[in-house]
DNA sequence: TTTTGAAATTTGATGCAACAAAAAAATTAG
DNA sequence: CTAATTTTTTTGTTGCATCAAATTTCAAAA
Protein backbone atom coordinates (compact mmCIF):
# COMPACT_ATOMS: atom_id res chain seq x y z
CA UNK A 1 0.00 0.00 0.00
CA UNK A 2 1.99 2.95 1.24
CA UNK A 3 5.68 3.07 2.00
CA UNK A 4 6.69 1.52 5.30
CA UNK A 5 8.27 3.78 7.92
CA UNK A 6 12.01 4.05 7.88
CA UNK A 7 14.28 3.34 10.79
CA UNK A 8 14.68 6.52 12.75
CA UNK A 9 18.19 7.63 12.04
CA UNK A 10 19.08 9.82 14.93
CA UNK A 11 20.14 13.38 14.41
CA UNK A 12 23.91 13.38 14.49
CA UNK A 13 24.29 17.07 13.95
CA UNK A 14 22.56 18.25 17.08
CA UNK A 15 19.30 19.21 15.45
CA UNK A 16 21.03 21.75 13.31
CA UNK A 17 18.41 22.90 10.89
CA UNK A 18 14.77 22.81 11.95
CA UNK A 19 14.14 23.86 8.36
CA UNK A 20 10.75 25.41 8.16
CA UNK A 21 9.45 24.84 4.71
CA UNK A 22 6.60 27.22 4.66
CA UNK A 23 7.19 28.30 1.14
CA UNK A 24 4.90 27.60 -1.72
CA UNK A 25 2.32 29.64 -3.47
CA UNK A 26 -0.43 27.58 -1.92
CA UNK A 27 0.96 28.12 1.52
CA UNK A 28 1.31 31.85 1.20
CA UNK A 29 -2.04 32.20 -0.50
CA UNK A 30 -3.51 30.43 2.50
CA UNK A 31 -1.61 32.61 4.94
CA UNK A 32 -2.65 35.78 3.15
CA UNK A 33 -6.31 34.91 3.00
CA UNK A 34 -6.29 33.72 6.59
CA UNK A 35 -4.73 36.94 7.73
CA UNK A 36 -7.35 38.99 5.90
CA UNK A 37 -10.04 36.99 7.61
CA UNK A 38 -8.59 37.25 11.11
CA UNK A 39 -8.06 40.98 10.75
CA UNK A 40 -11.68 41.37 9.78
CA UNK A 41 -10.69 42.81 6.44
CA UNK A 42 -13.39 40.90 4.64
CA UNK A 43 -17.07 41.50 5.08
CA UNK A 44 -19.28 38.54 5.99
CA UNK A 45 -21.16 37.38 2.93
CA UNK A 46 -18.38 38.25 0.55
CA UNK A 47 -18.32 35.68 -2.18
CA UNK A 48 -15.03 34.12 -3.12
CA UNK A 49 -14.53 32.48 -6.46
CA UNK A 50 -11.53 30.43 -7.40
CA UNK A 51 -10.53 32.68 -10.21
CA UNK A 52 -11.09 35.96 -8.40
CA UNK A 53 -8.93 34.83 -5.50
CA UNK A 54 -6.33 33.62 -7.96
CA UNK A 55 -6.37 36.95 -9.71
CA UNK A 56 -6.14 39.07 -6.57
CA UNK A 57 -3.34 36.94 -5.20
CA UNK A 58 -1.70 36.83 -8.61
CA UNK A 59 -1.38 33.09 -8.72
CA UNK A 60 -3.03 30.39 -10.77
CA UNK A 61 -6.16 28.60 -9.67
CA UNK A 62 -4.27 25.74 -8.07
CA UNK A 63 -2.77 27.61 -5.11
CA UNK A 64 -5.97 29.60 -4.76
CA UNK A 65 -7.88 26.39 -4.57
CA UNK A 66 -5.50 25.09 -1.92
CA UNK A 67 -6.07 28.14 0.21
CA UNK A 68 -9.83 28.12 -0.10
CA UNK A 69 -10.14 24.40 0.55
CA UNK A 70 -8.06 24.61 3.69
CA UNK A 71 -9.92 27.63 4.98
CA UNK A 72 -13.24 25.89 4.45
CA UNK A 73 -11.84 22.95 6.37
CA UNK A 74 -11.21 25.05 9.44
CA UNK A 75 -14.41 27.04 9.16
CA UNK A 76 -12.90 30.32 8.11
CA UNK A 77 -14.93 30.16 4.93
CA UNK A 78 -18.09 28.24 4.30
CA UNK A 79 -19.86 26.63 1.43
CA UNK A 80 -23.10 28.51 1.08
CA UNK A 81 -24.27 26.71 -2.02
CA UNK A 82 -23.31 24.49 -4.89
CA UNK A 83 -20.60 26.72 -6.25
CA UNK A 84 -20.55 29.44 -3.68
CA UNK A 85 -17.95 30.03 -1.03
CA UNK A 86 -18.51 32.99 1.24
CA UNK A 87 -17.10 34.64 4.31
CA UNK A 88 -19.41 33.33 7.04
CA UNK A 89 -21.81 35.44 9.05
CA UNK A 90 -21.51 35.01 12.76
CA UNK A 91 -24.88 34.16 14.21
CA UNK A 92 -25.57 34.45 17.91
CA UNK A 93 -25.59 30.67 18.39
CA UNK A 94 -22.28 30.51 16.56
CA UNK A 95 -20.86 33.19 18.80
CA UNK A 96 -22.12 31.34 21.84
CA UNK A 97 -20.43 28.14 20.76
CA UNK A 98 -17.16 29.77 19.85
CA UNK A 99 -17.11 31.70 23.09
CA UNK A 100 -17.63 28.56 25.13
CA UNK A 101 -14.75 26.87 23.35
CA UNK A 102 -12.59 29.94 23.68
CA UNK A 103 -13.17 30.05 27.42
CA UNK A 104 -12.00 26.46 27.72
CA UNK A 105 -9.05 26.65 25.42
CA UNK A 106 -7.72 30.12 25.98
CA UNK A 107 -8.20 29.59 29.66
CA UNK A 108 -6.11 26.45 29.44
CA UNK A 109 -3.44 28.16 27.37
CA UNK A 110 -3.26 31.08 29.76
CA UNK A 111 -2.94 28.76 32.71
CA UNK A 112 -0.13 26.79 31.11
CA UNK A 113 1.67 29.90 29.97
CA UNK A 114 1.94 31.14 33.52
CA UNK A 115 4.63 28.64 34.33
CA UNK A 116 6.65 29.21 31.20
CA UNK A 117 6.60 32.92 30.60
CA UNK A 118 9.80 34.83 31.25
CA UNK A 119 10.24 38.25 32.78
CA UNK A 120 11.36 39.54 29.40
CA UNK A 121 8.16 38.33 27.87
CA UNK A 122 6.09 39.94 30.57
CA UNK A 123 7.86 43.16 29.75
CA UNK A 124 7.01 42.65 26.11
CA UNK A 125 3.39 42.22 27.10
CA UNK A 126 3.53 45.48 29.02
CA UNK A 127 4.79 47.19 25.90
CA UNK A 128 1.89 45.78 23.93
CA UNK A 129 -0.47 47.07 26.56
CA UNK A 130 1.15 50.48 26.18
CA UNK A 131 0.43 50.29 22.49
CA UNK A 132 -3.18 49.41 23.19
CA UNK A 133 -3.58 52.35 25.54
CA UNK A 134 -1.95 54.72 23.12
CA UNK A 135 -4.10 53.45 20.26
CA UNK A 136 -7.18 53.96 22.38
CA UNK A 137 -6.15 57.51 23.20
CA UNK A 138 -5.30 58.41 19.65
CA UNK A 139 -8.21 56.66 18.00
CA UNK A 140 -6.17 54.21 15.99
CA UNK A 141 -8.51 51.31 16.50
CA UNK A 142 -7.03 48.95 13.96
CA UNK A 143 -3.84 49.21 15.93
CA UNK A 144 -5.74 48.44 19.11
CA UNK A 145 -7.17 45.30 17.65
CA UNK A 146 -3.82 44.21 16.28
CA UNK A 147 -2.00 44.80 19.53
CA UNK A 148 -4.76 43.07 21.42
CA UNK A 149 -4.35 40.02 19.25
CA UNK A 150 -0.60 40.06 19.73
CA UNK A 151 -1.07 40.38 23.48
CA UNK A 152 -3.27 37.33 23.66
CA UNK A 153 -1.24 35.14 21.35
CA UNK A 154 2.04 36.03 22.95
CA UNK A 155 0.61 34.54 26.10
CA UNK A 156 -0.94 31.54 24.40
CA UNK A 157 2.25 30.66 22.61
CA UNK A 158 4.02 30.50 25.93
CA UNK A 159 1.81 27.57 26.83
CA UNK A 160 4.20 25.53 24.77
CA UNK A 161 1.22 23.79 23.23
CA UNK A 162 1.45 24.28 19.51
CA UNK A 163 -1.68 22.53 18.43
CA UNK A 164 -3.66 24.34 21.08
CA UNK A 165 -2.51 27.65 19.65
CA UNK A 166 -3.45 26.53 16.17
CA UNK A 167 -6.94 25.64 17.32
CA UNK A 168 -7.34 28.96 19.11
CA UNK A 169 -6.23 30.69 15.92
CA UNK A 170 -9.00 28.95 14.04
CA UNK A 171 -11.48 30.36 16.53
CA UNK A 172 -10.23 33.89 16.10
CA UNK A 173 -10.39 33.28 12.40
CA UNK A 174 -14.06 32.64 12.82
CA UNK A 175 -14.57 35.82 14.85
CA UNK A 176 -12.59 38.17 12.62
CA UNK A 177 -15.19 38.88 9.95
CA UNK A 178 -17.79 39.74 12.59
CA UNK A 179 -15.73 42.77 13.56
CA UNK A 180 -15.99 44.10 10.05
CA UNK A 181 -18.28 47.09 10.02
CA UNK A 182 -18.21 47.21 13.78
CA UNK A 183 -15.23 49.55 13.90
CA UNK A 184 -14.65 51.65 15.70
CA UNK A 185 -17.42 51.09 18.19
CA UNK A 186 -16.06 47.75 19.25
CA UNK A 187 -12.47 48.71 19.71
CA UNK A 188 -13.33 51.85 21.65
CA UNK A 189 -14.15 50.10 24.83
CA UNK A 190 -11.62 50.21 27.60
CA UNK A 191 -13.14 47.32 29.48
CA UNK A 192 -10.38 45.07 28.22
CA UNK A 193 -7.64 47.14 29.78
CA UNK A 194 -8.21 46.15 33.37
CA UNK A 195 -8.47 42.50 32.44
CA UNK A 196 -5.11 42.72 30.76
CA UNK A 197 -3.64 44.33 33.82
CA UNK A 198 -4.98 41.54 35.99
CA UNK A 199 -3.47 39.02 33.59
CA UNK A 200 -0.10 40.75 33.78
CA UNK A 201 -0.20 40.75 37.54
CA UNK A 202 -1.13 37.08 37.60
CA UNK A 203 1.69 36.28 35.24
CA UNK A 204 4.14 38.13 37.41
CA UNK A 205 2.88 36.38 40.53
CA UNK A 206 2.94 32.98 38.78
CA UNK A 207 -0.69 32.49 39.64
CA UNK A 208 -2.26 30.32 36.91
CA UNK A 209 -5.79 30.63 38.24
CA UNK A 210 -5.56 34.40 38.29
CA UNK A 211 -4.31 34.54 34.72
CA UNK A 212 -7.01 32.19 33.57
CA UNK A 213 -9.59 34.25 35.34
CA UNK A 214 -8.37 37.46 33.76
CA UNK A 215 -8.38 35.99 30.27
CA UNK A 216 -11.81 34.49 30.81
CA UNK A 217 -13.14 37.84 31.95
CA UNK A 218 -11.63 39.46 28.89
CA UNK A 219 -13.34 36.95 26.64
CA UNK A 220 -16.65 37.35 28.45
CA UNK A 221 -16.61 41.10 28.27
CA UNK A 222 -15.84 40.92 24.59
CA UNK A 223 -18.69 38.49 24.20
CA UNK A 224 -21.14 40.84 25.83
CA UNK A 225 -20.30 43.76 23.63
CA UNK A 226 -20.15 41.70 20.46
CA UNK A 227 -23.41 39.86 21.08
CA UNK A 228 -25.34 43.03 21.78
CA UNK A 229 -23.98 44.66 18.66
CA UNK A 230 -24.72 41.58 16.63
CA UNK A 231 -28.28 41.65 17.85
CA UNK A 232 -28.51 45.34 16.99
CA UNK A 233 -27.18 44.90 13.49
CA UNK A 234 -29.99 42.52 12.84
CA UNK A 235 -30.94 39.18 11.49
CA UNK A 236 -28.38 38.69 8.79
CA UNK A 237 -27.13 35.61 10.53
CA UNK A 238 -26.72 32.80 8.06
CA UNK A 239 -26.47 29.11 8.67
CA UNK A 240 -23.13 27.86 9.77
CA UNK A 241 -23.00 24.56 7.99
CA UNK A 242 -19.43 23.55 7.83
CA UNK B 1 -11.92 42.98 -5.08
CA UNK B 2 -14.32 40.19 -4.27
CA UNK B 3 -18.04 40.09 -4.84
CA UNK B 4 -20.15 41.94 -2.32
CA UNK B 5 -22.70 40.00 -0.27
CA UNK B 6 -26.16 39.67 -1.72
CA UNK B 7 -29.39 40.73 -0.09
CA UNK B 8 -30.79 37.79 1.83
CA UNK B 9 -33.91 36.72 0.00
CA UNK B 10 -36.02 34.93 2.52
CA UNK B 11 -37.01 31.31 2.11
CA UNK B 12 -40.59 31.19 0.94
CA UNK B 13 -40.81 27.46 0.77
CA UNK B 14 -40.37 26.76 4.43
CA UNK B 15 -36.73 25.75 4.37
CA UNK B 16 -37.48 22.85 2.12
CA UNK B 17 -34.16 21.42 1.10
CA UNK B 18 -31.17 21.74 3.42
CA UNK B 19 -29.20 20.09 0.59
CA UNK B 20 -25.94 18.78 1.87
CA UNK B 21 -23.47 18.58 -0.94
CA UNK B 22 -20.81 16.28 0.31
CA UNK B 23 -19.81 14.93 -3.02
CA UNK B 24 -16.55 15.38 -4.79
CA UNK B 25 -13.57 13.18 -5.24
CA UNK B 26 -11.50 15.46 -3.09
CA UNK B 27 -14.06 15.32 -0.32
CA UNK B 28 -14.34 11.56 -0.31
CA UNK B 29 -10.60 11.09 -0.63
CA UNK B 30 -10.26 13.25 2.44
CA UNK B 31 -12.96 11.34 4.30
CA UNK B 32 -11.42 8.00 3.40
CA UNK B 33 -7.93 8.93 4.47
CA UNK B 34 -9.20 10.55 7.63
CA UNK B 35 -11.14 7.46 8.55
CA UNK B 36 -8.10 5.26 8.05
CA UNK B 37 -6.15 7.52 10.33
CA UNK B 38 -8.76 7.66 13.08
CA UNK B 39 -9.21 3.91 13.04
CA UNK B 40 -5.49 3.47 13.50
CA UNK B 41 -5.27 1.60 10.22
CA UNK B 42 -2.05 3.32 9.30
CA UNK B 43 1.20 2.86 11.08
CA UNK B 44 3.00 5.96 12.33
CA UNK B 45 5.89 6.76 10.04
CA UNK B 46 4.12 5.53 6.95
CA UNK B 47 5.12 7.73 4.09
CA UNK B 48 2.43 9.10 1.83
CA UNK B 49 3.21 10.28 -1.64
CA UNK B 50 0.82 12.14 -3.83
CA UNK B 51 0.83 9.52 -6.52
CA UNK B 52 0.59 6.52 -4.22
CA UNK B 53 -2.44 7.97 -2.47
CA UNK B 54 -3.96 8.81 -5.82
CA UNK B 55 -3.40 5.27 -7.02
CA UNK B 56 -4.78 3.56 -3.94
CA UNK B 57 -7.83 5.81 -3.94
CA UNK B 58 -8.14 5.45 -7.69
CA UNK B 59 -8.31 9.15 -8.36
CA UNK B 60 -5.96 11.60 -10.00
CA UNK B 61 -3.40 13.57 -8.10
CA UNK B 62 -5.64 16.59 -7.65
CA UNK B 63 -8.14 15.10 -5.21
CA UNK B 64 -5.34 13.21 -3.50
CA UNK B 65 -3.52 16.48 -3.05
CA UNK B 66 -6.66 18.04 -1.60
CA UNK B 67 -6.99 15.30 0.97
CA UNK B 68 -3.36 15.34 2.01
CA UNK B 69 -3.20 19.11 2.26
CA UNK B 70 -6.26 19.27 4.45
CA UNK B 71 -5.07 16.48 6.70
CA UNK B 72 -1.73 18.19 7.17
CA UNK B 73 -3.65 21.31 8.10
CA UNK B 74 -5.39 19.62 10.97
CA UNK B 75 -2.35 17.68 12.09
CA UNK B 76 -3.47 14.24 10.97
CA UNK B 77 -0.44 14.05 8.74
CA UNK B 78 2.79 15.93 9.05
CA UNK B 79 5.53 17.19 6.84
CA UNK B 80 8.64 15.34 7.91
CA UNK B 81 10.88 16.76 5.24
CA UNK B 82 11.08 18.58 1.95
CA UNK B 83 9.05 16.08 0.03
CA UNK B 84 7.95 13.76 2.74
CA UNK B 85 4.54 13.46 4.30
CA UNK B 86 4.17 10.84 6.99
CA UNK B 87 1.68 9.57 9.52
CA UNK B 88 2.89 11.27 12.70
CA UNK B 89 4.34 9.48 15.67
CA UNK B 90 2.74 10.39 18.96
CA UNK B 91 5.41 11.50 21.37
CA UNK B 92 4.72 11.70 25.08
CA UNK B 93 4.67 15.52 25.03
CA UNK B 94 2.23 15.36 22.14
CA UNK B 95 0.04 12.95 24.06
CA UNK B 96 0.18 15.24 27.08
CA UNK B 97 -0.93 18.22 25.05
CA UNK B 98 -3.70 16.39 23.27
CA UNK B 99 -4.95 14.91 26.50
CA UNK B 100 -5.11 18.31 28.15
CA UNK B 101 -7.12 19.68 25.26
CA UNK B 102 -9.34 16.62 25.20
CA UNK B 103 -10.14 17.01 28.89
CA UNK B 104 -11.25 20.58 28.28
CA UNK B 105 -13.18 20.03 25.12
CA UNK B 106 -14.72 16.62 25.61
CA UNK B 107 -15.58 17.64 29.13
CA UNK B 108 -17.37 20.67 27.77
CA UNK B 109 -19.15 18.65 25.12
CA UNK B 110 -20.26 16.05 27.66
CA UNK B 111 -21.57 18.73 29.96
CA UNK B 112 -23.55 20.40 27.23
CA UNK B 113 -24.91 17.14 25.93
CA UNK B 114 -26.46 16.36 29.27
CA UNK B 115 -29.20 18.89 28.75
CA UNK B 116 -29.99 17.87 25.21
CA UNK B 117 -29.80 14.11 25.15
CA UNK B 118 -33.08 12.23 24.87
CA UNK B 119 -34.13 9.03 26.55
CA UNK B 120 -34.00 7.27 23.21
CA UNK B 121 -30.43 8.35 22.77
CA UNK B 122 -29.50 7.16 26.21
CA UNK B 123 -30.92 3.82 25.25
CA UNK B 124 -28.81 3.87 22.12
CA UNK B 125 -25.78 4.51 24.26
CA UNK B 126 -26.67 1.54 26.40
CA UNK B 127 -26.78 -0.61 23.29
CA UNK B 128 -23.36 0.61 22.32
CA UNK B 129 -22.11 -0.27 25.76
CA UNK B 130 -23.55 -3.74 25.27
CA UNK B 131 -21.58 -4.02 22.10
CA UNK B 132 -18.45 -2.97 23.92
CA UNK B 133 -18.96 -5.56 26.61
CA UNK B 134 -19.67 -8.27 24.09
CA UNK B 135 -16.62 -7.33 22.05
CA UNK B 136 -14.51 -7.46 25.18
CA UNK B 137 -15.85 -10.93 26.02
CA UNK B 138 -15.39 -12.28 22.56
CA UNK B 139 -12.05 -10.71 21.85
CA UNK B 140 -13.18 -8.59 18.94
CA UNK B 141 -11.11 -5.60 19.89
CA UNK B 142 -11.51 -3.64 16.71
CA UNK B 143 -15.20 -3.70 17.42
CA UNK B 144 -14.56 -2.47 20.93
CA UNK B 145 -12.61 0.50 19.69
CA UNK B 146 -15.23 1.31 17.08
CA UNK B 147 -18.12 1.10 19.51
CA UNK B 148 -16.17 3.13 22.01
CA UNK B 149 -15.69 5.86 19.47
CA UNK B 150 -19.39 5.79 18.59
CA UNK B 151 -20.29 5.97 22.26
CA UNK B 152 -18.22 9.08 22.82
CA UNK B 153 -19.24 10.88 19.69
CA UNK B 154 -22.90 10.15 20.10
CA UNK B 155 -22.64 12.07 23.33
CA UNK B 156 -20.51 14.84 21.93
CA UNK B 157 -22.82 15.42 19.02
CA UNK B 158 -25.67 15.97 21.44
CA UNK B 159 -23.85 19.04 22.69
CA UNK B 160 -25.30 20.72 19.65
CA UNK B 161 -21.93 22.31 19.06
CA UNK B 162 -20.82 21.37 15.61
CA UNK B 163 -17.47 23.04 15.51
CA UNK B 164 -16.62 21.63 18.89
CA UNK B 165 -17.26 18.13 17.59
CA UNK B 166 -15.10 18.81 14.56
CA UNK B 167 -12.23 19.92 16.75
CA UNK B 168 -12.58 16.88 18.97
CA UNK B 169 -12.51 14.72 15.87
CA UNK B 170 -9.22 16.25 14.88
CA UNK B 171 -7.83 15.25 18.26
CA UNK B 172 -8.94 11.65 17.88
CA UNK B 173 -7.44 11.79 14.42
CA UNK B 174 -4.15 12.56 16.05
CA UNK B 175 -4.48 9.68 18.51
CA UNK B 176 -5.58 7.02 16.05
CA UNK B 177 -2.24 6.03 14.58
CA UNK B 178 -0.78 5.58 18.05
CA UNK B 179 -3.13 2.65 18.59
CA UNK B 180 -1.65 0.88 15.62
CA UNK B 181 0.44 -2.02 16.82
CA UNK B 182 -0.97 -1.63 20.29
CA UNK B 183 -3.86 -4.00 19.64
CA UNK B 184 -5.08 -5.89 21.40
CA UNK B 185 -3.38 -4.90 24.61
CA UNK B 186 -4.93 -1.52 24.67
CA UNK B 187 -8.48 -2.50 23.93
CA UNK B 188 -8.46 -5.33 26.43
CA UNK B 189 -8.77 -3.17 29.45
CA UNK B 190 -12.12 -2.97 31.12
CA UNK B 191 -11.30 0.18 33.01
CA UNK B 192 -13.39 2.18 30.59
CA UNK B 193 -16.55 0.26 31.32
CA UNK B 194 -17.30 1.71 34.71
CA UNK B 195 -16.61 5.21 33.47
CA UNK B 196 -19.15 4.71 30.74
CA UNK B 197 -21.67 3.47 33.26
CA UNK B 198 -21.12 6.55 35.38
CA UNK B 199 -21.62 8.67 32.30
CA UNK B 200 -24.87 6.91 31.51
CA UNK B 201 -26.12 7.41 35.01
CA UNK B 202 -25.19 11.07 34.93
CA UNK B 203 -26.95 11.50 31.62
CA UNK B 204 -30.06 9.89 33.02
CA UNK B 205 -29.95 12.06 36.11
CA UNK B 206 -29.28 15.16 34.02
CA UNK B 207 -26.21 15.87 36.06
CA UNK B 208 -23.73 17.71 33.83
CA UNK B 209 -20.91 17.66 36.34
CA UNK B 210 -21.23 13.93 36.79
CA UNK B 211 -21.13 13.30 33.06
CA UNK B 212 -18.14 15.54 32.65
CA UNK B 213 -16.39 13.79 35.49
CA UNK B 214 -17.05 10.37 34.01
CA UNK B 215 -15.76 11.38 30.59
CA UNK B 216 -12.73 13.02 32.11
CA UNK B 217 -11.97 9.88 34.07
CA UNK B 218 -12.32 7.85 30.92
CA UNK B 219 -9.86 10.08 29.12
CA UNK B 220 -7.44 10.01 32.02
CA UNK B 221 -7.49 6.25 32.35
CA UNK B 222 -6.90 5.92 28.63
CA UNK B 223 -4.04 8.35 28.96
CA UNK B 224 -2.41 6.30 31.67
CA UNK B 225 -2.48 3.10 29.69
CA UNK B 226 -1.44 4.73 26.45
CA UNK B 227 1.43 6.69 27.94
CA UNK B 228 2.90 3.70 29.69
CA UNK B 229 2.69 1.64 26.53
CA UNK B 230 4.18 4.45 24.51
CA UNK B 231 7.06 4.63 26.93
CA UNK B 232 7.48 0.87 26.69
CA UNK B 233 7.50 0.83 22.92
CA UNK B 234 10.42 3.19 22.99
CA UNK B 235 11.89 6.35 21.71
CA UNK B 236 10.49 6.45 18.23
CA UNK B 237 8.77 9.71 18.95
CA UNK B 238 9.31 12.16 16.14
CA UNK B 239 8.98 15.89 16.17
CA UNK B 240 5.47 17.18 15.92
CA UNK B 241 5.98 20.21 13.77
CA UNK B 242 2.71 21.10 12.24
C1' DT C 1 -44.04 45.93 -16.62
C1' DT C 2 -43.49 41.18 -15.44
C1' DT C 3 -42.57 36.54 -16.54
C1' DT C 4 -40.57 32.88 -18.83
C1' DG C 5 -37.14 30.26 -20.92
C1' DA C 6 -33.31 29.62 -23.77
C1' DA C 7 -28.59 31.03 -24.85
C1' DA C 8 -24.20 32.73 -23.23
C1' DT C 9 -21.18 32.98 -19.48
C1' DT C 10 -18.99 31.73 -15.26
C1' DT C 11 -17.89 28.45 -11.99
C1' DG C 12 -15.65 24.42 -9.41
C1' DA C 13 -13.86 19.80 -10.25
C1' DT C 14 -10.65 17.07 -12.30
C1' DG C 15 -6.90 15.30 -14.90
C1' DC C 16 -2.58 16.03 -16.87
C1' DA C 17 1.90 17.71 -18.39
C1' DA C 18 6.00 20.44 -17.57
C1' DC C 19 9.36 21.64 -14.34
C1' DA C 20 12.70 21.88 -10.67
C1' DA C 21 14.06 19.84 -6.58
C1' DA C 22 15.06 15.82 -4.10
C1' DA C 23 16.00 11.03 -3.57
C1' DA C 24 17.73 6.79 -5.13
C1' DA C 25 20.56 4.09 -7.87
C1' DA C 26 24.44 3.27 -10.44
C1' DT C 27 29.03 4.16 -11.41
C1' DT C 28 33.63 5.43 -10.77
C1' DA C 29 37.78 6.65 -8.07
C1' DG C 30 40.49 5.86 -4.29
C1' DC D 1 35.47 -2.41 0.02
C1' DT D 2 34.41 2.57 0.80
C1' DA D 3 33.47 7.10 -0.64
C1' DA D 4 32.52 10.32 -3.96
C1' DT D 5 30.16 11.52 -8.08
C1' DT D 6 27.17 11.09 -11.80
C1' DT D 7 22.88 9.44 -13.77
C1' DT D 8 18.20 8.06 -13.34
C1' DT D 9 13.93 8.09 -11.10
C1' DT D 10 10.59 9.95 -8.14
C1' DT D 11 8.41 13.74 -6.05
C1' DG D 12 5.56 18.10 -5.06
C1' DT D 13 4.27 22.35 -7.31
C1' DT D 14 2.12 24.85 -10.58
C1' DG D 15 -0.50 26.19 -14.53
C1' DC D 16 -3.88 25.12 -17.66
C1' DA D 17 -7.48 22.82 -20.57
C1' DT D 18 -11.69 20.43 -20.39
C1' DC D 19 -16.23 19.49 -18.78
C1' DA D 20 -20.58 19.58 -16.55
C1' DA D 21 -23.22 22.20 -13.58
C1' DA D 22 -24.87 26.51 -12.03
C1' DT D 23 -25.61 31.35 -12.81
C1' DT D 24 -26.55 35.27 -15.36
C1' DT D 25 -28.17 37.68 -19.34
C1' DC D 26 -31.39 38.91 -22.46
C1' DA D 27 -35.12 38.93 -25.40
C1' DA D 28 -39.65 37.35 -26.51
C1' DA D 29 -44.24 36.58 -24.74
C1' DA D 30 -47.88 37.68 -21.64
Dump pLDDT digits (tens) for A15-29.
333 334 457 899 999
pLDDT given for residue B180 in this prediction = 76
pLDDT band at residue A238 under the 50/70/90 scheme = very low
Burial of A39 (0-12, 13-18, 19+ CB in 10 A): middle
Give me the mean pLDDT over the A168-183 stretch.
88
pLDDT given for residue A17 in this prediction = 33
For B184-234, the DSSP string reads THHHH--HHHHHHHHHHHHHHHT-HHHHHHHHHHHHHHHHHHHHHHHHHH-
Give the domain ranges of chain B. Answer: 25-86, 92-232
Q: Are A107 and A215 in contact (CB under 8 A)?
A: yes
Chain B neighbors of A23, CB-CB under 8 A: none
Dump pLDDT digits (tens) for B13-66.
333 333 344 678 999 999 999 999 998 889 999 999 999 999 999 999 999 999
Q: Compare A82 and A45 and report the one with higher pLDDT.
A: A45
A174 touching chain B per CB within 8 A? yes
CA distance A136 to A190: 8
Q: Are the Cβ atoms of A163 and B53 closer than 8 angstroms?
A: no
pLDDT band at residue B240 under the 50/70/90 scheme = very low
pLDDT given for residue A237 in this prediction = 41
Residues 111-140 of B with CB under 8 A from A: 112
B10 touching chain A per CB within 8 A? no
Q: How many angstroms separate the CA of residue B201 from the nearest CA in chain A?
A: 25
CA distance A69 to A242: 12
Q: Are the Cβ atoms of B167 and A167 closer than 8 angstroms?
A: yes
Q: Are the Cβ atoms of B4 and A46 closer than 8 angstroms?
A: yes
B97 has a pLDDT exceeding 90: yes
Helix (H, G, I), strand (E, B) or coil at B161: coil
Fold of A25-86: Arc Repressor Mutant, subunit A (1.10.10)
A187 has a pLDDT exceeding 80: no
CB pairs under 8 A between A and B: 138
Beta-sheet pairing, B84-86 with A47-48: unpaired
Q: Are B221 and B99 in contact (CB under 8 A)?
A: no
Q: How many angstroms separate the CA of residue B8 from the nearest CA in chain A?
A: 7
CA distance B98 to B100: 5
pLDDT band at residue A191 under the 50/70/90 scheme = confident
pLDDT given for residue B161 in this prediction = 97
Chain A neighbors of B162, CB-CB under 8 A: 97, 240, 242
Chain B neighbors of A172, CB-CB under 8 A: none
Q: Are the Cβ atoms of B98 and A6 closer than 8 angstroms?
A: no
A3 has a pLDDT exceeding 80: no
pLDDT given for residue A36 in this prediction = 93
At residue B113, φ and ψ (nearest 5 deg) are -65, -30
User: Closest residue of A to B111, CA-based?
Assistant: A100
Q: Are the Cβ atoms of B2 and A73 closer than 8 angstroms?
A: no
A86 touches strand C (CB under 7 A): no
Dump pLDDT digits (tens) for B171-223.
999 999 998 777 677 767 787 889 999 999 999 999 999 999 999 999 999 99
pLDDT band at residue A7 under the 50/70/90 scheme = very low
B71 touches strand D (CB under 7 A): no
Give me the mean pLDDT over the B225-242 stretch.
62
A156 has a pLDDT exceeding 60: yes
Within 7 Å of a protein beta carbon, the nucleotides of strand C are 10-17, 21-23
pLDDT band at residue A80 under the 50/70/90 scheme = confident
pLDDT given for residue A1 in this prediction = 54
pLDDT band at residue B2 under the 50/70/90 scheme = low
B92-232 belongs to which homologous superfamily?
GntR ligand-binding domain-like (1.20.120.530)
Dump pLDDT digits (tens) for B48-62.
999 999 999 999 999
A48 CA to C9 C1', in Å? 18
Residues 6+ apart with CB under 8 A from B102: B168, B171, B219
pLDDT given for residue B8 in this prediction = 38
pLDDT given for residue B1 in this prediction = 56
Q: Are B100 and A107 in contact (CB under 8 A)?
A: no
pLDDT given for residue A242 in this prediction = 35
Chain B neighbors of A105, CB-CB under 8 A: 101, 104-105
Residues 28-87 of B with CB under 7 A from strand C: 59-63, 66, 81-84
A149 HSE (CA, 13 A, CB side): 17
Q: Are the Cβ atoms of A163 and B49 closer than 8 angstroms?
A: no
pLDDT band at residue B9 under the 50/70/90 scheme = very low
CA distance B14 to A8: 59
A93 has a pLDDT exceeding 90: yes
Chain A neighbors of B42, CB-CB under 8 A: 2
pLDDT band at residue B234 under the 50/70/90 scheme = low
Distances (CA, A) of A197 to A120, A200, A207, A210, B179: 16, 5, 14, 11, 44
Amino acid sequence: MFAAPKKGKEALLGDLAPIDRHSSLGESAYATLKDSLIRGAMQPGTKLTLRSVAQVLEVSTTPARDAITRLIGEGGLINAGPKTVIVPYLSLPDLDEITAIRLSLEGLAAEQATNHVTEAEIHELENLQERINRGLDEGRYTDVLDANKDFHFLIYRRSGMRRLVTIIESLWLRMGPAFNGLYPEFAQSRTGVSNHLWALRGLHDRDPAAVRGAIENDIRSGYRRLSSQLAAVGEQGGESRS
